[in-house]
C-alpha cells in the first residue's frame, strides 16, 4: 500500500471514529444561552502533558483494575473517559466492558485525539469511539453513560461549573461520575477533596464515596446527580481552603 493510500485510510478511520455515537441522546450545545457561569475561585492547573505516568508502571501498581473495581465497571456498561490522553484507561475500559459495552474517549487537544484514534484503529477496538470535546463542554450525548471517568484531569478544567453543568445530562439515572486526583492544591495538579465535593455539590451532584487510592497517586471519589440541574446564575463558586 502506498504512503498516500495508507494516510487516506487512517484519516478515513479517524472520521468514522470521531463521528461514532454512543447513545440515542442528543449532543449538548455550547450555544444554548445557558450562561453566565461563575468562574473558578481558585487556580487552574495548565495542561502539561497527555501522559500522567507510563503505562507499565501504572500496571505494576494494578491502578486501572483497582479503579475499575471500586467504580463498579462491568461488562456491557457504557463509559466515558474524559481527558483520555494517550488512552491508558480507554484501552483497559474497552477490555472490561467487552463487546456488548461501549467506551467514549474524549480529549480537548486535536492532536491528542487523533493520536488516540490511531491507537484505537491499530488495536482494533470496535467498542471505542473517540471524540473532541471543548474546555467547558465535554460534548457527551444525553442519558448515555453508566460511568464517567475523570482521572488526574479535573484540576485542569478552566470552567469547572459550566463543564459539570453540561456534563450532567449525559449520565443515566443511576450513573456515576468517578474522579481520581491527588490531594494537593489545584495549582500543583491536584484537587483537595473538600473543594471537589463543594464544586460538584454546586451543580447538584451528591458525593457517594471517597477513598484513598495509593495505586493511582491520590484518592477516588464518586458522585451521582441529585435534584434538578441549577440555574447557572444561581451557582456559587467554592473557595479553595
Residues 4-50 have pLDDT tens digits of 444 444 444 444 444 444 443 333 334 454 669 999 999 998 766 54
Which pLDDT band holds residue 216 (cuts at 50, 70, 90)? Answer: confident
Please give the pLDDT value at position 32. 54
Q: Check pLDDT > 60 for residue 133.
A: yes
Q: Angle at the Cα of 78 (from 75 to 84), degrees rounded to 5? A: 110
Rounded mean pLDDT, 129-152: 96
Paired with 170 in beta bridges are none
Rounded mean pLDDT, 70-90: 97
Please give the pLDDT value at position 56. 85
Rounded mean pLDDT, 137-150: 97
Nearest to 84 by CA among 153, 141, 145: 153
Indicate the SS3 state at residue 113.
Answer: helix
Nearest to 138 by CA among 30, 2, 52: 30
Say which residue the cell 460538584 belongs to.
Answer: 200
Please give the pLDDT value at position 103. 98
Please give the pLDDT value at position 217. 83
For the chain, what is the radius of gyration of the CA atoms?
Answer: 17
Which residues, other chains included, contact 186 with Cβ-Cβ below 8 Å and sequence gap of 6+?
A: 42, 43, 44, 45, 155, 192, 195, 240
Report the chain's terminal Cα–Cα distance, integer Å.
Answer: 58
CB of 23 within 8 A of CB of 139? no
Angstrom distances, CA of residue 75 to CA of 17, 68, 191: 21, 11, 30
Q: Where are the domains of the chain?
A: 3-234
CB of 155 within 8 A of CB of 44? yes
To the question of domain 3-234 being in CATH 3.40.50.150, the answer is yes
How many Å apart are CA 13 and CA 139, to the nearest integer? 20
Rounded mean pLDDT, 102-127: 95
User: In angstroms, how far is CA 15 from the centroid of its own chain?
Assistant: 21
Rounded mean pLDDT, 131-139: 96
Percent of the chain with pLDDT over 70: 82
Please give the pLDDT value at position 170. 98
Low-confidence winner among 32-41, 61-70, 157-166 (lowest mean pLDDT): 32-41
User: In angstroms, how far is CA 52 from the centroid of its own chain?
Assistant: 14
Which pLDDT band holds residue 60 (cuts at 50, 70, 90)? Answer: confident
Number of residues that this document lists for the chain: 241
Rounded mean pLDDT, 200-226: 95
Q: Please, what is the average pLDDT of the chain?
A: 86
DSSP one-letter code for 170: G
Please give the pLDDT value at position 29. 36
Please give the pLDDT value at position 215. 84
* 4 exposure class (CB count in 10 Å sphere: 0-12, 13-18, 19+): exposed
Low-confidence winner among 11-25, 57-71, 118-132, 145-159 (lowest mean pLDDT): 11-25
Amino acid at each position: 500500500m502506498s504512503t498516500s493510500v495508507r494516510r487516506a485510510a487512517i484519516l478515513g478511520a479517524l472520521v468514522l471514529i470521531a463521528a461514532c455515537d454512543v447513545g440515542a441522546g442528543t449532543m449538548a450545545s455550547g450555544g444554548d444561552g445557558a450562561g453566565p457561569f461563575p468562574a473558578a475561585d481558585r487556580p487552574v492547573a495548565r495542561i502539561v502533558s497527555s501522559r500522567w505516568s507510563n503505562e507499565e508502571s501504572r500496571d505494576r501498581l494494578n491502578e486501572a483494575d483497582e479503579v475499575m473495581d471500586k467504580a463498579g465497571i462491568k461488562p456491557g456498561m457504557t463509559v466515558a473517559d474524559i481527558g483520555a490522553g494517550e488512552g491508558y484507561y480507554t484501552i483497559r475500559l474497552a477490555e472490561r466492558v467487552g463487546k456488548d459495552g461501549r467506551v467514549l474517549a474524549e480529549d480537548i487537544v486535536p492532536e491528542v485525539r487523533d493520536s488516540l484514534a490511531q491507537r484505537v484503529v491499530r488495536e482494533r477496538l470496535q467498542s471505542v469511539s473517540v471524540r473532541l470535546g471543548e474546555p467547558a463542554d465535554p460534548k457527551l450525548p444525553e442519558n448515555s453513560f453508566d460511568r464517567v471517568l475523570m482521572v488526574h484531569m479535573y484540576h485542569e478544567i478552566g470552567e469547572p461549573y459550566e463543564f459539570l453543568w453540561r456534563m450532567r445530562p449525559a449520565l443515566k439515572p443511576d450513573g456515576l461520575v468517578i474522579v481520581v486526583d491527588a490531594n494537593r492544591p489545584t495549582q500543583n495538579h491536584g484537587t483537595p477533596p473538600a473543594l471537589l465535593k463543594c464544586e460538584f455539590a454546586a451543580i447538584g451532584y451528591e458525593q457517594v464515596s471517597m477513598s484513598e487510592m495509593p495505586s493511582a497517586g491520590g484518592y477516588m471519589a464518586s458522585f451521582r446527580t441529585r435534584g434538578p440541574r441549577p440555574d447557572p446564575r444561581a451557582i456559587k463558586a467554592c473557595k479553595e481552603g
